[in-house]
């Protein structure tokens, strides 16, 4: 299905890592270029982008990418954002694809994904890397929301957050309170996108991902990310800021 290029508020903080590439590619898409062409022209990536029909019938998407170093891309927002992540986090995306391909090569495509493929897919779609003081990491892992966004709020000035999941970014095009990402904890010293990409690519492994080492984070609760979270009672919504006894699902 072909969709029109959307309007994106590039000034929102979650777009900062991909803004330069994204603005250029979106302009080309809006001018009539297919998404694959717009992505290829905007910035070099470790892969090239090809139309969706380039994917042979019966060949798994992830295996095609691994073998051809080419990403089949539809003319829609989801695949456009996936392309931006490939351009800005090349090492991480290559590593995620490598893990997927290894699982498929060993086990084939089953009716349900195994634990590694499931976790890799989850992170690829809705993953976030958080480099922050240990106190913030602990509060997030334990879902101590009053501490995380209350008493510890000043520490967010020392934190860096990178949204790597393209499905999470897709939701953030039209923000709503319950958008929830799956966070991996990174070392506090990470400051730049390049450092984050390099560290994450090195850290990712089948064994680590099989454990699903994620913590849920309602993204628009992050201080400075949404004006509404300054309002009284914002964090009192238990349907969004859930305790550990409840199952967390993507927003």
**Confidence at residue 20, expressed as pLDDT on a 0 to 100 scale:** 93
**Confidence at residue 3, expressed as pLDDT on a 0 to 100 scale:** 76
Whether the pLDDT of residue 107 is over 90: the answer is: no
Tens of pLDDT, residue by residue over 26-46, are 999 999 999 999 999 987 799
**Confidence at residue 2, expressed as pLDDT on a 0 to 100 scale:** 58
Q: Average of pLDDT values for 100-116? A: 84
**Confidence at residue 111, expressed as pLDDT on a 0 to 100 scale:** 64
Q: Is 131 helix (H, G, I), strand (E, B) or coil?
A: strand
Quote the CA–CA distance of 16 and 90 in Å, as a whole number: 16
Quote the CA–CA distance of 188 and 156 in Å, as a whole number: 11
Quote the CA–CA distance of 162 and 165 in Å, as a whole number: 9
> Can you state the angle between helices 90-107 and 115-126, rounded to 10 degrees?
150
Tens of pLDDT, residue by residue over 165-174, are 999 999 999 9
- Average pLDDT, whole number, for the chain? 93
Tens of pLDDT, residue by residue over 43-65, are 779 999 999 999 999 999 999 99
Q: How confident is the model at residue 4 (pLDDT cuts 50, 70, 90)?
A: confident
The phi, psi pair for 76, rounded to 5°, reads -145, 170
Q: How much is the pTM?
A: 0.93
Residue with tokens 């009539």: 32
Task: Output the CA–CA distances (angstroms, integers) from residue 204 to 48, 71, 106, 164, 243, in the order listed.
Answer: 23, 21, 18, 14, 28
Whether the pLDDT of residue 1 is over 60: the answer is: no
Q: Average of pLDDT values for 18-26? A: 95
Those residues whose C-beta lies under 8 Å from the C-beta of residue 106, and which sit 6 or more positions away, are none
Q: How confident is the model at residue 248 (pLDDT cuts 50, 70, 90)?
A: very low
Q: Which helix (H) or strand (E) holds 180?
A: strand 180-186
Report the share of the chain in percent with pLDDT over 90. 88
């Amino acid at each position: 299905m072909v969709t029109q290029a959307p309007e994106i508020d590039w000034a929102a903080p979650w777009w900062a890592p991909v803004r330069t590439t994204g603005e250029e590619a979106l302009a080309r898409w809006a001018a009539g270029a297919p998404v694959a062409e717009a992505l290829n022209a905007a910035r070099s990536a470790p892969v090239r982008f090809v139309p969706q029909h380039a994917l042979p019938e019966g060949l798994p998407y992830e295996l095609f990418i691994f073998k051809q170093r080419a990403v089949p891309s539809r003319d829609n927002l989801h695949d456009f954002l996936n392309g931006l992540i490939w351009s800005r986090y090349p090492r991480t995306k290559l590593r995620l694809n490598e893990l997927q391909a290894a699982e498929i090569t060993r086990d084939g495509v089953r009716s349900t994904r195994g634990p590694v493929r499931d976790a890799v897919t989850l992170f690829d779609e809705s993953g976030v890397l958080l480099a922050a003081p240990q106190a913030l990491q602990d509060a997030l892992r334990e879902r101590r929301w009053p501490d995380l966004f209350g008493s510890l709020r000043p520490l967010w000035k020392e934190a860096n957050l990178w949204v790597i999941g393209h499905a999470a970014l897709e939701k953030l095009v039209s923000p709503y309170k319950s958008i929830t990402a799956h966070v991996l904890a990174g070392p506090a010293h990470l400051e730049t996108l390049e450092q984050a990409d390099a560290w994450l690519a090195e850290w990712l492994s089948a064994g680590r991902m099989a454990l699903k080492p994620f913590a849920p984070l309602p993204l628009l609760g992050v201080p400075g990310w949404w004006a509404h979270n300054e309002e009284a009672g914002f964090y009192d919504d238990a349907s969004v800021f859930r305790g550990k006894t409840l199952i967390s699902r993507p927003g």
